Structure 1
Amino acid sequence: MKRSFETLKSEHFFDEEFPLYVNRATETFQVPFHNHDFIEFAYVAEGSGFHHIDGEVSEAAKGQLVFIPIGASHVFRPASTNPDKMSLIVYNCLFSPHLLDKFSGFATDPALLVDLRLMRDGEVPSFTLQDSDDAIGKLFLQLHREHSLPRQATKDFQCSLLLQLLIVVLRARMGTATAANARKFDRFDQLLAYTDNHLSEALTLSHLAQVSQWSERHLQRLFRRHTDQPYHLYLQSARIRRSCELLRHTPLKISVIAEEVGYKDIASFLSAFKKHAGATPSAYRKAASANCNT
């Protein structure tokens, strides 16, 4: 049986002034195989399934980023025909190669400039990366939110997010750096990401020493050198920053938010929050809600 096939054109997604488009799609078996005259990054946000590209099939799982160059024939398929049993939700970031020329106009890193040129010229084949620390997922969430809810200077902001995505992808593709200092920075950056992703837990310095295989004394030096804070203040700031996000974007009770960011004692949370945010959590939430409605 001959399968259906489509070529997707830029004019169906981009306006004349801004060649960038972002959406969040639930994949089905009705979507035909297709290629396109633009570049695409696809990010698996939820569920699992399969990705068919240029005659090959690979598993698609949460946290995967797929690069699809111009002309590549591909399609995502969920693992089941029953969406209640298993869904596959993918963020798609589509952009014109002309955007890469703009980025090349002010980028300075030699490796980045080469990657932008090769990607623009169609010399980078399709590839898949695993988002190990959710850095890519957060960028896609921001891209989608900014594209769906445009505000002042939204096109510039979306371009800056896409450039960040290209840099994060470049770093991941380059793999482990050869220089000892670069390896150390990568390890410490991963430790910061681990901390940010486990704020609800008891993140003692002793625990981080086990995770990182660095001594507690060395970790203290690294935090002071690279965050300009001792560890306990960095952790407190990260927890309050996360609680602010939850207050702005969720209806969770303040006591629940306190537990979500690692405070078992509500009084300690209230004291730390007011010190860092300059207001109580309830006052902060009220002010944030008022700003959104103006």
Structure 2
Amino acid sequence: MSEFSFANLTPDFILDAIESVGIYPESGLLALNSYENRVYQFKADDNFRYVAKFYRPYRWSDEQILEEHQFAFSLQEAEVPMVAPIKRGGDSLFHYQGYRFALFPSVGGRQFEMDNLDQLEILGRYIGRMHRVAGTQQFKHRPTINCQDYLYNAKDALLKSQLLPMHLETPFVTILEHLIEKTEQEYQQVEQIRLHGDCHAGNILWSGEHLMLVDLDDCRQGPLIQDLWMMLNGDRQEQLVQLDTLLSGYEEFNTFEQRQLNLIEPLRAMRMVHYMGWIATRWQDPAFPRNFSWFATDKYWEQQILALKEQFATLHEPALRLIP
């Protein structure tokens, strides 16, 4: 299937689409930082601020998007602070001339501080509550976190893209294949639940004393540690302190099994490879060469060879362990 273009999303088209569901913007459209979709903030004549999210066609089916929305609604009902889409006439997914979009309330706040232990403990509580709701049922249409998609498909996309410099192809592919083999060995099967899926600092807002989770665009089935490990940074001792803080909040609402810790580094490796494959897959979208120009430079691929080697070595080290 050919790559879809967002070129027709002109300001007039966007305004017409929003007005088709009975909301009438009175301010200009402020484009927000999103590459996979197109997202715009605006103020309407009802004096509320909204965010309109236009989905990338062919990426998700209607059923998958609606499952994302229903997950957000169920979290809100359980008093988990998740930004959920707005319903109009009972619908949360709207169609306009071949495009699909959703509307969300605009929420303010500053980015989550990963080195703030008080905020980490609060986040742990909210993720624990989220997973308690998430574990009550399974996604029927959303994908899983698996080696085929995150490693092998990503590798194929990289090699087909022809963005990898020819003189670096052999060392890059050699370490990539070693990393994939080791990651697949270490990615043990554990219980999979519904996840946020992309729970990093950029998808968490802090306003006053309140925390807000946003963006379920990558929600899927997977091991619960996926929603925790991206909060860990620094050396091993720093990560242990952060992990202990997160879990002290998490375990107030949900149980945590130590064997989940074995998946942190395999999941990190999967995210590294998947990220490269994602950019390669989207390279025909003009927004990607414009915003990821470094992806086509020798320096970037030299750095990735080193990063993959370091991650391969980390996969051979003992997993993080908390003292009971």
| Greater share of residues in strand | 1
Quick one: higher RCO (CA 8 Å, sep 6+), 1 or 2? 2
What band does the TM-score fall into relative to the shorter chain?
0.3 to 0.5
Q: Normalising by structure 1, report the TM-score.
A: 0.34
